[in-house]
Structure 1
């Protein structure tokens, strides 16, 4: 049986996102499985996995904001910008920044900012991934990328031997939180690195929605996948919704444009189309007022 839907997985440390995809592919006996945004091996948290026709929605889920909770340790910098790397700079801190100084620095980083991808990243330059070059000791020039920081909140600070700031951040896809931590340190005139990170939300899914690998293995033995699989329509719930008549449903499933008098308001132009029985049929885009054209049609999903 082919499964269609999204599985929000709580990825543990020590696994790549690709590892999780491979594991679910084997357990669910499905060929079409994909994730919606890479998490580094030492980062845990929400990783939505798409199965079957839901893989066609992965690009939209991946574009949705993500929220993390993490820690940045001051006084020490590493080559990977996180706790897994080699120390490249260490200083004694005589005067710790105050809470107000930290909050001010964080607020200054909210909005559209530019980030230079770290050398230890999967970004390709001239056909080679940066981490492959970094492992050879090479450092090359990287182009800055624009990302959006929606919120960067101070949660508290440990003022011990290794002063550590705790935070949450909501950001766009493509944001390197490691680099954000290093840049925060620079604003405080201190070397720093990210010492902990967990993704607590990805698009519509939070940690509370997630299942563990152990739970997935149990379901694989019972075959009750529907008990943990989230519907495709729910996966893109930030898009507007429209219910169509039986006659319109036939047109939608055949990829026809729809002319409607009162289309739902939409910020991004995309509208989820449902039948009057609740079946998710398609994603349509409003081309002009009242004229909706198909973007993705899901005729093979009951």
Structure 2
């Protein structure tokens, strides 16, 4: 008979500045140990070589990770023109080289503006964590297997290029929807300019309203209140009587504002997140335990 899981006793949201050389799962393991809590998860994978904002939920906050994962992201990174790799970043093996010693910023930006901003489609890289027929792409890639990947729609809100001291390297700042692969943007831009490119030194600067300014190392990051997980949602404050209905998962009349709604009780505690139900009502997506 297996051991019974100990109920979570530590709850909150940590904004981690992930260092290079560790996986997102490694960071989760670090915080499990630091907070002595098994119920820990993250809201959006960063590659081992990438750094920056990784939002980690502890305890009952893990129920709210979906509202972190689906928010927009912001990144900065360097696009190296003239060299393609099998992983589309600097960690991969070189697969092709091109004569692209100097890439004019204006020409590259014009190509970005014409083809890589707004609603676009991307083919996920083979090193991604997407599953095809039950197996993750990066697992297939390690076995030397490449499979057909259907393109996925993403939205690029902004994609700005800036010069660096290296003539074949441009600094890119990107704001995009969840699910966007920055390495794919770099590779696609290289192809659009008649050659190839790869990405290096990727750093995530924001996940929704979570930014580097409040991030800390895995050993020092602050544990924020559970309600911070829904900081991007419209807030609804209810009475103690209505709060009791919310905690019982009742369907209620919809509120003003944009759904989903974060519902708070009179003691400022987050009770639930509600979504539309029918034409005039709302139902719970998540009810947050209060003990």
Residue 92 in structure 1 maps to residue 99 in structure 2: yes
**1:32-111 equivalent positions in 2, closer than 5 A:** 32-93=39-100, 96-108=102-114, 109-111=116-118
Asked if structure 2 preserves the Cα contact closer than 8 Å seen for 1:204 and 1:236, the reply is no
Counterpart position of 1:253? 247
- Structure 2 residue aligned with 1:199: 204
Unpaired segments of 5 or more residues in structure 2?
Answer: 1-7
Asked if structure 2 preserves the Cα contact closer than 8 Å seen for 1:69 and 1:168, the reply is yes
Q: Match for 1:281 among 271, 280, 286?
A: 271
Query: For 1:217-232, what aligned pairs fall within 5 Å after superposition?
Result: 228-232=222-226
Which 10-residue stretch deviates more, 166-175 or 287-296? 287-296
CA distance in 1, matches of 2:203, 2:149: 26
- How big is the shift at 1:288? 4.5
* 1:289 shift after superposition: 5.5
Classify the secondary structure of the residue corresponding to 2:241: helix
1:298 & 1:129 partners in 2: Cα distance?
31
CA distance, structure 2, for counterparts of residue 258 and residue 106 of structure 1? 46
The residue aligned with 1:236 is 230
Q: C-alpha separation between the residues in 2 aligned to 1:289 and 1:232?
A: 30
**Aligned residue number for residue 4 of structure 2:** none
- In the TM superposition, 1:116-155 aligns within 5 A as 116-155=123-162
Q: After TM superposition, where is structure 1 displaced by more than 4 Å over at least 4 residues in a row? A: none
Secondary structure, aligned partner of 2:32: helix
Q: Alignment RMSD, CA only?
A: 1.7
TM-score (norm 1): 0.88
Which of the residues 265, 272, 278 maps onto 2:262? 272
- Partner Cα distance (1:15, 1:92) in 2: 34
For residue 182 of structure 1, the aligned residue among 187, 202, 224 is 187
